[in-house]
Structure 1
Amino acid sequence: MPSSAWNVRGIVFTALFAAVFIVFSMIKLTLWGPVPFTLQNLAIMLAGGLLGARYGFASIMLVVGLTALGLPLLHGEGGWSLIAGRTGGFIWMFPVSALLIGWFSRKIRGHGLAAYILLVLVMEVFGSLLLYVSGVPWFAHVMGYTLAKSLSLAAYPFMLPDFLKALAAAGIVLSVRKYMPGFSVDRSARSAGAERNTYIAPGS
């Protein structure tokens, strides 16, 4: 298939997952403290896992960039005040999270239990824990809190929900990616040379 066709598909799917990211960010619950519970990182896990590194990064970066320019795309808010606000450290990391999820996910082939466990680990590490690395210290800086208090408000309450999202995202990616048009597992990876750089889960 011509590369231009894949480019068109890439643009279409980038826009689609950008829209999914926006919709998921609108689902917001403030149950404790100043950091709301959303499905944003579930959308990031799906974008990276299904589109791969390049298009996954592009879909999330598109939303973050437009939000920085003032469009109210992240849970109905936008502008530099949001990007530099208390949750800014999480927002900056969103595109990087999608990129890393995409890169590692496409190295995992197969559809068995081992592949699922590996995908859960990828989703959890890069779709949840990585976000805390930049998000929590920035939250502490903006709010003037200690690191311990920031962890109690912006990390600990979200760890179990994030793990459940990782479980769900890995299951969805494993079930759906074989129907995706060549993004998450590049068909060229079926060649003998590419297979040497791709992890094939045992029993898959």
Structure 2
Amino acid sequence: MSDSQSTAKEPIRTSGSAEETRGWIRGTVYVALFAALFVGASYVKSGPGAAVPFSLQSFAIMLAGGLLGAAYGFWSIFLVVALTAVGLPLMNGPGGTAQLFGPTGGFIWMFPFSALLIGWATDRLFAGRGKPRAKSTALLLIAMLVFGVLLLYITGVPWLAHVSDKLDFIGAVKIGMVPFLLGDAIKAVAAALIVAALRPLVPAVRPARKN
């Protein structure tokens, strides 16, 4: 009797292991894809010579967190930041500590955590749902604005004032925040709409959790 029970249970363990492996592979592929998207967005940049140039980095971060969820969203951005830290010029800069501790360092440090928190919010807003409701989309937009925009300013602007010899905090706000508010708001709206539309197609990227 015990042998037959063991035989009956074996396919279930094998199937679960195979599904976990497929989920891990899918997750790894999507981390790499969104890391590449983030690198590409870093090179869509304007304002050469500006202390904080305009780019699509935050837009890519919002998409990574919103579509991949907290864990994979975090790792997709952290991977690029980590490789930049060791010297690879992946974020339209020289790479290395010179970039991480330069004028935009305060923004860069927070990028992975921005994706993490956006993913955390999105995982909960759309858990077990098909098409998102208008209320969920509105809450998603708020999450994008808080975690994808405001959070970056909270660390980015004070650091800009700290490393600059010419800017105090108010000056850093005028240079590193005010000119970008409208553009960041537009990126947040666009990201929220894209995530709300595509999120129902994405849950299979993450391994299913079993009770």
Which TM-score band applies after superposition, normalised by the shorter structure?
0.7 to 0.9
Query: Which residue identity does 2:132 align to in structure 1?
Result: H
Query: Which residue identity does 1:128 align to in structure 2?
Result: V
Partner of 2:153: 132
Instruction: Give the C-alpha shift of residue 159 in structure 1.
Output: 1.0
Instruction: Give the C-alpha shift of residue 112 in structure 1.
Output: 2.4
Q: For 1:152-175, what per-residue CA distance to the aligned partner results, in whole angstroms no more than 9, with x for missing partners? A: 000111111111000000111011
Query: Which residue identity does 1:135 align to in structure 2?
Result: G
Q: For 1:84-131, what per-residue CA distance to the aligned partner results, in whole angstroms no more than 9, with x for missing partners? A: 101000000000000000001111125222111111101110001000
Partner of 2:97: 80
Mind listing any 5+ residue stretches in structure 1 that lack a counterpart?
194-204
Aligned to 1:133, the other structure's residue is in SS state helix
Normalised to the residue count of structure 2, the TM-score between the two structures is 0.84
Partner of 1:20: 37
| Cα distance between partner residues in 2 of 1:72 and 1:26 | 11
Counterparts in 2 of 1:124 and 1:168: CA distance versus 1, 3 Å: same
Indicate yes or no: 2:83 matched with 1:61.
no
Indicate yes or no: 2:175 matched with 1:159.
no
Q: In terms of Rg, which structure is larger?
A: 2
Mind listing any 5+ residue stretches in structure 2 that lack a counterpart?
1-15
Instruction: Give the C-alpha shift of residue 22 in structure 1.
Output: 0.2
Instruction: Give the C-alpha shift of residue 32 in structure 1.
Output: 8.6
Indicate yes or no: 2:132 matched with 1:111.
yes
Instruction: Give the C-alpha shift of residue 77 in structure 1.
Output: 3.2
Indicate yes or no: 2:196 matched with 1:174.
yes
Instruction: Give the C-alpha shift of residue 187 in structure 1.
Output: 5.8
Aligned to 2:157, the other structure's residue is in SS state helix
Are the aligned partners of 2:23 and 2:205 in contact in 1 as well (CA < 8 Å)? Answer: no
Aligned to 1:106, the other structure's residue is in SS state helix
Q: Work out the percentage of aligned pairs sharing the same amino acid.
A: 49
When structure 1 is superposed on structure 2, of 106-115 and 141-150 the one drifting more is 106-115
Cα RMSD after superposing both structures: 1.9
Indicate yes or no: 2:57 matched with 1:40.
yes
How many residue pairs get aligned? The number is: 189
| Cα distance between partner residues in 1 of 2:82 and 2:198 | 28
Are the aligned partners of 2:26 and 2:205 in contact in 1 as well (CA < 8 Å)? Answer: no
